[in-house]
């Protein structure tokens, strides 16, 4: 959410940002926000004047009532002033209701306006304009055929989609045996990897209230992603970033506690609306999965440095498992409304002969902090911190990259050295059929 002062001082900057994000339909909201803000400030000013006058009149009434003991005419003057105070009190009550209504309307508009993107963000309407910045590791296409990832898993008797469909519907799965163990090994390794980077491990709540949900994401994202618990003010989280950032709602943090660097495990639940192609079936795009996440809350001047550190952590993690990756910078039209800057880390798929998304690193500036009223008390006063998040590992997608890039000609799978301690020392997984 933007600072209303920014819209007052530089509305054209906000309009230009909407154009860069290809959201011209929201341009009228800038004038709407300015009008609501002006009306609200006028109501606040009038209410402040009335309170001041009421205090002055109350003092005069007290003096007159004291004088009325000797001069009865003073009582009449006091009663006349009391009528003025009553009239002002009625008007003040009206203004207080008006203020609340105007503030609610203004907040509703402000929640829809996107964050100001960083000047370095490439301009484009959709993800087709995202820009590859760098590759890490040499992408290899082996001289033998690589099956679809569910076929690889089935050879290990490691997945059961049919039973999951009967139990919960499409978009769910059972993982079994070595594949299930490999899944958990990835999560355990990702956890320890981030702890080794100095992050504090956390297991958060897996549900959040609506005040937190609207604080960490846009309404469009909520509608597309989140499952609501019927009859409760609770939503299942789509990623642990939601409850991790929400942990600091309405908090005033001492500056010496920054940066907050946390890595969290959670299951994630997503509607995943829309139809998807063959390459997004299996365990690629699903309603339930597990993930290791990282978040940072820091001083504004440090957020871009943390952004750089965070995406590089993803690269290092994947390269340690012999998976080639690339960094893809998201263009303006592909950025969610709260994001200042974002990039995807994509893993190489030797079967598809292309890269696919496995991590997303984002700098959200002070948008989430403003929405959630997270403040920092520093030497020079109180300010809003910046928040960042990045995927450490989401094993369903990581499993695809892991299996394809470590598949051997005979159908067995090499276990990367960093995962072997979590697999009981196993170096090779042998298919059962």
Same domain, 297 and 344: yes
What's the pLDDT tens digit per position in 342-363?
999 999 999 999 999 999 999 9
Same domain, 147 and 88: no
Same domain, 415 and 271: yes
Same domain, 357 and 224: yes
Q: Over 50: is that where the pLDDT of 398 sits?
A: yes
**Whole domain around residue 371: which residue ranges?**
127-429
Upstream peptide bond of 238 is cis (omega within 30 degrees of 0): no
In a domain, 117, yes or no: no
Same domain, 421 and 288: yes
% of residues, the chain, pLDDT over 70 = 90
Q: What is the CATH number of the domain that holds 101?
A: 1.10.287.40
Q: Over 70: is that where the pLDDT of 279 sits?
A: no
> For residue 187, what pLDDT is reported?
96
Mean of pLDDT values over 244-273: 94
CA distance 188 to 268: 17
In a domain, 118, yes or no: no
Same domain, 88 and 175: no
Same domain, 10 and 54: yes
CA distance 237 to 209: 10
CA distance 310 to 303: 10
- Among 85, 110, 135, the domain boundary falls at 110
CA distance 335 to 289: 23
In a domain, 122, yes or no: no
Query: Which pLDDT band holds residue 275 (cuts at 50, 70, 90)?
Result: very low
CA distances from 90 to 5, 59, 78, 97, 112 (A): 31, 19, 19, 11, 34
Query: Which pLDDT band holds residue 52 (cuts at 50, 70, 90)?
Result: confident
What's the pLDDT tens digit per position in 122-154?
999 999 999 999 999 999 999 999 999 999 999
The DSSP secondary-structure symbol of 392 reads E
Q: What is the CATH number of the domain that holds 203?
A: 3.30.930.10
What's the pLDDT tens digit per position in 283-307?
878 899 999 999 999 999 999 999 9
In a domain, 115, yes or no: no
Mean of pLDDT values over 103-122: 94
Greater pLDDT, 62 or 390: 390
In a domain, 150, yes or no: yes
In a domain, 121, yes or no: no
- Among 42, 75, 110, the domain boundary falls at 110
Same domain, 271 and 343: yes
With both helix axes pointing from N to C terminus, report the angle between 11-20 and 27-67 in degrees, rounded to the nearest 10.
150
Question: Which residues neighbour 15 within 8 Å (Cβ) at sequence distance 6 or greater?
Answer: 27, 30
In a domain, 222, yes or no: yes
> For residue 273, what pLDDT is reported?
56
Same domain, 106 and 135: no
Mean of pLDDT values over 378-390: 95
In a domain, 119, yes or no: no
Same domain, 100 and 199: no
Same domain, 44 and 135: no
Cβ neighbourhood burial of 214 (10 Å; 0-12, 13-18, 19+): middle
Structure tokens at 200: 């504090």
What's the pLDDT tens digit per position in 189-231?
999 999 999 999 999 999 999 999 999 988 778 878 899 999 9
Q: Where do we find the tokens 């940066």?
A: 259
* Counted domains in the chain: 2
SS3 content of the chain, % helix, strand, coil (to 5): 50, 20, 30
SS3 per-residue string spanning 123-191? CCCCHHHCEEEEEECCCCCCCCCCCCHHHHHHHCCCEEHHHHHHHHCCCCCEECHHHHHHHHHHHHHHH
Q: Over 80: is that where the pLDDT of 395 sits?
A: yes
Same domain, 74 and 219: no
> For residue 286, what pLDDT is reported?
87
% of residues, the chain, pLDDT over 90 = 76
């Amino acid at each position: 959410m933007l600072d209303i002062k920014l819209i007052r001082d530089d509305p054209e900057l906000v309009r230009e940002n909407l154009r860069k994000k290809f959201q011209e339909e929201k341009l009228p909201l800038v004038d709407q926000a300015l009008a609501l803000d002006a009306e609200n400030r006028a109501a606040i000013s009038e209410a402040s004047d009335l309170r001041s006058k009421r205090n002055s009149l109350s003092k005069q009434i007290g003096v007159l009532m004291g004088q009325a003991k000797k001069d009865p005419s003073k009582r009449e003057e006091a009663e006349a002033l009391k009528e003025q105070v009553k009239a002002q009190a009625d008007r003040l009550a009206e203004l207080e209701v008006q203020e609340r209504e105007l503030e609610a309307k203004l907040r509703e508009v402000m929640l829809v306006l996107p964050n100001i993107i960083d000047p370095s963000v490439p301009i484009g309407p959709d993800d087709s304009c995202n820009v590859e910045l760098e590759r890490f590791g040499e992408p290899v296409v082996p001289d033998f055929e690589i099956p679809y990832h569910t076929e690889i898993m089935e050879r290990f008797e490691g997945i059961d989609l049919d039973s999951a469909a009967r139990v919960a519907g499409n978009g769910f799965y059972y993982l079994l045996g070595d594949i299930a163990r490999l899944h958990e090994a990835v999560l355990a390794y990702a956890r320890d990897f981030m702890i080794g980077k100095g992050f504090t491990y956390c297991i958060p709540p897996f549900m959040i209230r609506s005040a937190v949900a609207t604080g960490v994401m846009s309404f469009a994202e909520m509608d597309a992603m989140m499952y609501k618990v019927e009859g409760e003010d609770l939503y299942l989280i789509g990623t642990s970033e939601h409850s991790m950032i929400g942990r600091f709602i309405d908090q005033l943090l001492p500056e010496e506690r920054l940066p907050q660097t946390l890595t969290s495990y959670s299951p994630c639940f997503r509607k995943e609306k829309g139809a998807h192609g063959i390459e997004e079936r299996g365990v690629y795009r699903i309603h339930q999965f597990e993930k290791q996440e990282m978040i940072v809350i820091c001083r504004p001047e440090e957020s871009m440095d943390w952004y750089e550190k965070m995406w590089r952590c993803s690269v290092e993690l994947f390269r340690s498992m012999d998976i080639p990756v690339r960094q893809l910078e998201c263009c303006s039209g592909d950025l969610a409304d709260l994001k200042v800057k974002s990039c995807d880390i994509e893993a190489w798929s030797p079967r598809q002969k292309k890269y696919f998304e496995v991590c997303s690193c984002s700098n959200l500036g002070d948008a989430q902090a403003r929405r959630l009223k997270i403040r920092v008390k520093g030497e020079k006063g109180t300010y809003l911190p910046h928040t960042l998040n990045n995927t450490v590992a989401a094993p369903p997608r990581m499993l695809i990259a892991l299996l394809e890039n470590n598949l051997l000609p005979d159908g067995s799978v090499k276990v990367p050295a960093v995962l072997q301690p979590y697999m009981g020392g196993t170096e090779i997984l042998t298919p059962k059929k």
